[in-house]
Structure 1
Amino acid sequence: MVGILNDSDSDDELPPGWEERASHDGNVYYVNHFTKGTQWTHPQTGRKKIVEGELPNGWERCISNGQIFFVDHANRMTTYTDPRLAFATEYRELSQPVRQRFDGTSTALSVLYGRDLRNKVALVTGANTGIGFETARSLALHGCTVVFGCRNMKKAQLAIDKIYHEMENASCDFLHLDLCSLHNIRTAAAKFKQKYRALDILILNAGVFAVPYTLTEDGYEMTFQVNHLSQFYLTLLLEHSLRSCCNARVVILSSESHRFSLIQSIQDLHPLILSPPAYKYWSMGAYNDSKLCNILFAQELARRWPTVSIFSCHPGNMVSSDLSRYSWMYRFLFALVRPFTKSLQQAASTTVFCATAAELESTTGIYFNNCYRCDISNAGLDPQLASRLWDTSQEMIINVVKRDKLWYDLALT
């Protein structure tokens, strides 16, 4: 695993009299207007940069009398400055770490600035609303084929239509995905594999929060099944699709709430604790436990699937989305703090960064917050806990599959 994201770009500001430009082949050079000299290295950091990817939508690169200039057709502006310079990247050298390019104020669209994701396929669960929608929208606006894994087809179609209104040639698709039904997960995975040969990006974004005690049709507590078990099952069913791709990625949305989980030992990873009876249920505790399950799943998946890059991330605290829809108290609290929290575009930035950032190639098993690598809780790093959760999750799925088969066999007799 390479070293990444050790410091910020606060020292990247140019001294007075200096200007940053890009050559025709994408190499960044620096002009000193006092001495009339140029150099390839940054005058402050001594490092080299390049600009990569396509120009933003609506921009055109032109040449006149040997002079390169750029036309912004949308705003009817002309400039000699390459618009991609704002997101120039440093040369990756083994002797130095890749530096942080984005932070908590970055948006998903800024992370993808200049990127061309054509010929990529992404499946995003819970893509019809909130952070999931902004994630799917940002990927689609940069050429990615985005499959909306959602329970409600009408809401998903409305979300897709919004994207088509922005970009007529966007490529979006709908996959009926009900995370309260393991039978539906099997059906959805089979339909996806029938239509798509491979899957480049799997984003496990869907989740519920502060849900009143509810059992799914499979007999498991809803928070645990929706936030972990069903998406765990979906990932396993799509293993071949992911492994068929070069540099495939799985991004699992967790939360800083994983630090407050009461799961501390392998004895806590019992079906009756993960999916408790009503008298032992506390909605916040169930959410915290499910977020630790997300972390443990990501860690174990990274160990078992070394050819796929696995990341977990925290999108932001108290982001105003539909996550709080099941509790009037949390809806009020989320609305109260909304002016002080991230926008949905900002909340989607870390997810998109994990799913697409070039500097994360050949890395795996990392947890991110604000597009920055963060430490996981001690419980989240416990390999015994991760292995036990994997085995317990498989057992719980197998029990439902066996029961379904028994019912099916009885119906035939």
Structure 2
Amino acid sequence: MPERTRRFKSCSTAENVLKGIDLTGKTALITGTNSGIGIETARSLALHGAHIVMANRNIAASEKLRDEILAERSDAKVDIISIELSSLKSVKSAAEEFLSKGWPLHMLILNAGVNSAPQKSTEDGLETTYGVNHVAQFYLTQLLLLKLQESAPSRVVIVSSDLHARTGIDERLSVEEKLKILTPVAGTKEPGLISFYAYSKLCAVLFAFGLHRRVHQSGVNVYVLHPGVIKTGLLRNTGMAGKVIQFVGTPFSKSLEQGAATTVYCAADPQLADISGKYFQDAWDDEKGLQASLARDEALQDALWNHTEQFLKQFESSGR
């Protein structure tokens, strides 16, 4: 295989990345398209011919985005599925609705995320940031995995953050101790402003690498990424301190179009057909921002995987 060359920069947009790519016949399910880079991710893929299925809580906002996309491309294929990621029952219902349509699934883009949510626990008793950002999207992936394999070659794209490397977790701790930190119990006091969010984003990277090890041979590629610093609503519930963080980061922040570039690069670029299990930033995978000492720890990947699966088995057996 010829060596890849870097074609994009931190200022590249989703449109730059997708230029010349025709996604007709490809179907993408995307979580969290009502705000932030999810909007541009859905829009840009749809405008390049992909069938977009937006999985969101706010249906009215989803319908508005669908209308805006159709105004730009009248033959765009855009569908909407209701999902509430703080409810595993809703996640299961959303997956069942998708599967009932008979659609293929070539791209599963796990974009949704919360930080410092006002509601401190999910419907299923999980700490909200951990439950929404990791468990719910792990569950959605598991429910759709067979469809991804049937549709192969297919891709799972997981939006993480460079904050995965800022958890403050001591690498000398045992796997069990690290796992306990990464999976906070509802009601646990957050040690820092964005600690739970950082933990959940390390969970995203661990999940991605663990998933890659399990499914890559079946034709499903897995990518995890940092989209860059983007002015979104993720810090809206963190008070004045969150506003300060956003203000300080503004000079270095990306537009939504730039922020979505790495996501669509992972989802659609033909040069990544034989690449999987890598961490991307600025549409490239040199992994300079990856905290490999934690993220590449297969024992920790497996511990998180087993812990999550055990909780989901309990949920399934409860009949909820």
TM-score normalised over the length of structure 2: 0.92
Deviation at 1:339, TM superposition (A): 4.2
Deviation at 1:266, TM superposition (A): 1.9
Which residue, out of 296, 304, 307, partners 1:381? 296
- Give the aligned partner of residue 198 of structure 2: 288
Runs of 4+ in 1 over 4 A off after TM superposition: 269-273
SS at match of 2:222: strand
Does residue 321 of structure 1 match 2:236?
A: no
Letter in 2 for 1:320: K
Which residue, out of 296, 299, 307, partners 1:392? 307
Deviation at 1:170, TM superposition (A): 1.1
Identity %, equivalent residues? 38
Report the structure, 1 or 2, having the larger strand content.
Answer: 1
Which residue, out of 127, 130, 145, partners 1:239? 145
Larger-Rg structure: 1
- Across the two proteins, how many residue pairs are aligned to each other? 310
Does residue 362 of structure 1 match 2:274?
A: yes
Whether the 8 Å CA contact 2:6–2:284 is kept in 1: the answer is yes
Alpha-carbon deviations, 1:113-132, whole Å to 9, x = none? 11111110001100122100
Whether the 8 Å CA contact 2:121–2:187 is kept in 1: the answer is no
SS at match of 1:280: coil
> Structure 1 stretches of 5 or more lacking a match?
1-93, 409-413
Deviation at 1:157, TM superposition (A): 0.8
Structure 1 stretch displaced more, 266-275 or 152-161: 266-275
- Give the aligned partner of residue 183 of structure 2: 274
Does residue 228 of structure 1 match 2:134?
A: yes
- Give the aligned partner of residue 87 of structure 2: 181
Whether the 8 Å CA contact 1:269–1:392 is kept in 2: the answer is no
> Structure 2 stretches of 5 or more lacking a match?
none
Deviation at 1:97, TM superposition (A): 1.5
Does residue 300 of structure 1 match 2:210?
A: yes
Does residue 135 of structure 1 match 2:38?
A: no
Which residue, out of 238, 241, 256, partners 1:344? 256
**Alpha-carbon separation, structure 2, partners of 1:397 and 1:281:** 24
TM-score normalised over the length of structure 1: 0.72
**Alpha-carbon separation, structure 2, partners of 1:162 and 1:176:** 19
* Superposition pairs of residues 7-22 of structure 1, within 5 angstroms: none
- Give the aligned partner of residue 73 of structure 1: none
Question: What is the root-mean-square deviation in Å for CA atoms of aligned residues?
Answer: 1.8
Letter in 2 for 1:190: E
Alpha-carbon deviations, 1:279-316, whole Å to 9, x = none? 43245111111011000000010000022110000000
Alpha-carbon deviations, 1:146-170, whole Å to 9, x = none? 0011011111111111111211211
Whether the 8 Å CA contact 1:262–1:289 is kept in 2: the answer is no
SS at match of 2:265: helix
Deviation at 1:382, TM superposition (A): 0.3
Whether the 8 Å CA contact 1:269–1:389 is kept in 2: the answer is no
Deviation at 1:331, TM superposition (A): 3.7
Deviation at 1:272, TM superposition (A): 7.8
- Give the aligned partner of residue 32 of structure 2: 126
CA shift in 2, pair 1:213/1:276, >3 Å: farther
Report the structure, 1 or 2, having the larger helix content.
Answer: 2
